[in-house]
Structure 1
């Protein structure tokens, strides 16, 4: 049985300011959060390629394999924009229609398919794998594990350093919500 500890990266200025993220480092707040973290013991670490994910896993003091399938949702032209700066109609469409990508990037349905494909490849036998990625990817992994509809994506709340544990393997994941002790 594979055990995945799927961790959302530490805070960044974008998460603190309700902006769509770009490739940025973790913030001072993120570094403080990491200082209070109880890191799980795993056999190996895998992380998204963006700097905030790499910074987070490096703070754990462990080497990690970079996996582009764990990359952030592509926010297209909204990258770096504040939520209030996005045209209201486009934002409403994106928040209510999982197939929509009015920003020119990736839709929620596309993200869920990508993460589902990645999860389907995770069958390494009895292994504990730490996965550092983005809140949107953690949400998508949760939706996939529960075999829930894409419309449920927005009902999964994931913040900095939140963790979802998945046990099992392709097509048979069991979800155990968890948060590292802070």
Structure 2
């Protein structure tokens, strides 16, 4: 059996600004929260996305490999820009990107391309045994859930993935099952209980 824990990286300025991710660093809160990640994880092989924010999230872990397939969707010309700004400038492009899985108005990857990339990586992982921990991005985690469930591409938009949330998949005989999604239980324990929670959709990094 392959046990796979997918962990979205900790918070960045783009996450807090609801912007498309670029290759940015973690913010101060993200660095602090990432320092507690190891306590939430089992022993296992640690694989990370090539992005700086993923490497910084994994700073307290022993990394086995850097995996290009775990990179966030290529957002092309939209990288680093807030979704609201782009929607104001080019609403038709944003609408096409969110309704047509083959659309890539930003000049980067389409949702279909992202799903294909993650599907190929999961197929290879399903042939392995043991536990693996993948430090990656919101778009990749959501794509992995869609692939594991054999769901339509539109299901991608109905999955929430918060910074440092854990999503767990198990592979038996080459087939994936979903054990948990967006597990934030331990990260919430460190938040300020007096501060109202803001939904991930309103402030989270845009993952396709």
The TM-score with structure 2 as length reference comes to 0.82
Q: Which residue among 174, 177, 180 is the counterpart of 1:177?
A: 180
Q: Which residue of 2 aligns with 1:63?
A: 63
SS in 2 for 1:14: helix
Query: Match for residue 156 of structure 1?
Result: 159
1:104 and 2:94 are equivalent in the alignment:
no
The match for 2:139 is 136
* Corresponding residue number in structure 1 for 2:85: 85
Q: Deviations over 1:115-167 (max 9, x none)?
A: 00000001222x01000000000000000000001111111111101111001
Matches for 1:5-154 after TM superposition, within 5 Å: 5-37=5-37, 38-58=39-59, 60-86=60-86, 87-122=90-125, 123-125=127-129, 127-154=130-157
Where in structure 1 do 4 or more consecutive aligned residues deviate above 3 Å?
Answer: 35-38
**SS state of the match for residue 21, structure 2?**
coil
Q: Deviations over 1:10-67 (max 9, x none)?
A: 0010001111110011111212322444331222100110000111111x33223100
Write the distance in 2 (CA, Å) between the matches of 1:56 and 1:78. Answer: 24
* Alignment partners' CA distance in 1, 2:148 and 2:176: 5
Instruction: Return 5+ residue gaps in structure 1 as ranges.
Output: none
What is the CA–CA distance in structure 2 between the aligned matches of 1:163 and 1:148, rounded to whole Å? 20
Note the aligned Cα RMSD (angstroms): 1.4
Distance 1:61 1:152 in 2: 32
SS in 2 for 1:100: coil
In 2, Cα distance between equivalents of 1:36 and 1:70:
22
Which consecutive unaligned segments of at least 5 residues does structure 2 have?
A: 188-208
1:68–1:169 CA distance, 2 compared to 1 (3 A): farther
The two structures have a TM-score, normalised by structure 1, of 0.93
Give the conservation status (yes or no) of the 8 Å contact 2:46–2:61.
no
